[in-house]
Structure formats: structure tokens, C-alpha cells
């Protein structure tokens, strides 16, 4: 997307639909550590090739938990029973492993806490000042817990998280359904909303949904990879959008 088209899109956007982990809070790093803890042991137990950081971005980042488990296991040719969503974390099932990872994540979050990215808060504040809606769309079932840990509980009226998606039987990213639900709950068409994502699967979801703008935030996935997945623009930090947004709105009147 050219600079002129980007400015035009920013000038007409009426809502930002923001992913949580890696976009608003650095909890993507906590998720990454929890997945590494889980699959380092699982792959070793099954005699598979060792877990690497690339596995996180290729198979796990941004996806619903059980989908990520299936994809990571498949990458090593490991077949396990599906199990049930309520499986004990010690069960060697897809659901059991997913719940084990969630227990690791919760422990790390409780021990270390989380602080939101200052640049992300700056963009949200600017959006508020300009009358632009903001909503959270995350695959995580821990969305409310993370927002509470970051001191942002009650900051976003519209939250579509993994729990809400399950209630509505919405497929997760890279399908666009959760983002489309966020737009519906704001009573806006997708074309009036910008998707903000750091994960390749999330960017792909935005690109598939007919949104007005798909913004990639490069927290490690790679700018070229985010663009290839469907991002219109890529920034290193959301603070980079504050001035362009203000200028675009001013130009748009």
C-alpha cells in the first residue's frame, strides 16, 4: 500500500481491532516461553527434532491453543488422541497438552506480571481523542486475565477472546471470523475497521476479512513475512502510527 493510500485508509478508519498478546501487552513473550517449556519436553519424550524458536512463529503464534498443539505435533509427525477440552494437564492428549501449556503461562504471568507497551497505549489514547473505537480480538482464553494483570481491566468495552469465540463457535485465526465478530459488536462494517496484529496467522485473518487496513506490528515475525501474510503496512511500534493518524484525520476533516 502506498503512503497516500495508507493516509487515506487511516483517515477513514472508525475502529482499531487490536490483538492482545504482542500488540497491547508483551505477553506474546510469555506465551513463547510457555510453549517452549512444553514442547521442548514433549519433542524430547517422542524422540523428535528439538523445539526451536522458529516453531513458535510457524505453528503456534496467534492461534487457538488446541490448534497450535495439533500443528506443532504434526510438524514432528507425532499423533496423539484429541481428548476433551477439560482434560487434566498431565494427560498426553492434544487438549491435555494445551491445558498444560496454559498452566505454565498462568504461573509465569502470576509470578512476573505484565506491563502494556507504552506505544500501544499511546495509540489507544490518540484513537480515543479522535473518536475512534478500539476493541480487543485475541485467540487467548486468558484475555481478561492479561488485561487485569496489565491494569487495563475495563479499558475496552468490546473484547472477543478465546472464551467468547468458543461460545459463538467461531473458528480461530487465520480465519477472519473473530475479527468480523469484533466489527459486528461495534456495529461497524469490516471496511471501516483496521486490524492490528503481530502474528502471521492474525495478519492473514485480517487480509481475509475485507478490512479497511491491516497493520502488522513486527515483534519478531519479520516485516517481510508480515507483508507477505497480508499486512498493508508494518511498524515496529504502534507509537509510529500516532502522528500519521493525527495528520490523516486532520486532512480528512
- Nearest to residue 93, comparing CAs of 71, 75, 66? 66
Residues designated catalytic: 19, 21
Amino acid at each position: 500500500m502506498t503512503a497516500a493510500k495508507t493516509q487515506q485508509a487511516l483517515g477513514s478508519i472508525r475502529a482499531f481491532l487490536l490483538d492482545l498478546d504482542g500488540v497491547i501487552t508483551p505477553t506474546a513473550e510469555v506465551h513463547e516461553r510457555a510453549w517452549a517449556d512444553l514442547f521442548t519436553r514433549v519433542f524430547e519424550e517422542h524422540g523428535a527434532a528439538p523445539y526451536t524458536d522458529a516453531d513458535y512463529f510457524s505453528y503456534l503464534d496467534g492461534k487457538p491453543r488446541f490448534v497450535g498443539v495439533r500443528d506443532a505435533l504434526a510438524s514432528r509427525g507425532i499423533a496423539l488422541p484429541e481428548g476433551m477440552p477439560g482434560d487434566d494437564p498431565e494427560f498426553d492428549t492434544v487438549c491435555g497438552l494445551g491445558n498444560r501449556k496454559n498452566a505454565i503461562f498462568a504461573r509465569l504471568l502470576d509470578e512476573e506480571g505484565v506491563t502494556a507497551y507504552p506505544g500501544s497505549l499511546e495509540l489507544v489514547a490518540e484513537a480515543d481523542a479522535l473518536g475512534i473505537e478500539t476493541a480487543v480480538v485475541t485467540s487467548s482464553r486468558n484475555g481478561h486475565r492479561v488485561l487485569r494483570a496489565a491494569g487495563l481491566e475495563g479499558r475496552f468495552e468490546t473484547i472477543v477472546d478465546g472464551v467468547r469465540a468458543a461460545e459463538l463457535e467461531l473458528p480461530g485465526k487465520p480465519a477472519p471470523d473473530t475479527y468480523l465478530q469484533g466489527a459486528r459488536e461495534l456495529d461497524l462494517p469490516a471496511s471501516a475497521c483496521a486490524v492490528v496484529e503481530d502474528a502471521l496467522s492474525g495478519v492473514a485473518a485480517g487480509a481475509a476479512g475485507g478490512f479497511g487496513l491491516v497493520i502488522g506490528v513486527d515483534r519478531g515475525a519479520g516485516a517481510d513475512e508480515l507483508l507477505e501474510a497480508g499486512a498493508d503496512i508494518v511498524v515496529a511500534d504502534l507509537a509510529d502510527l500516532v502522528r500519521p493518524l493525527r495528520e490523516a484525520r486532520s486532512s480528512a476533516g
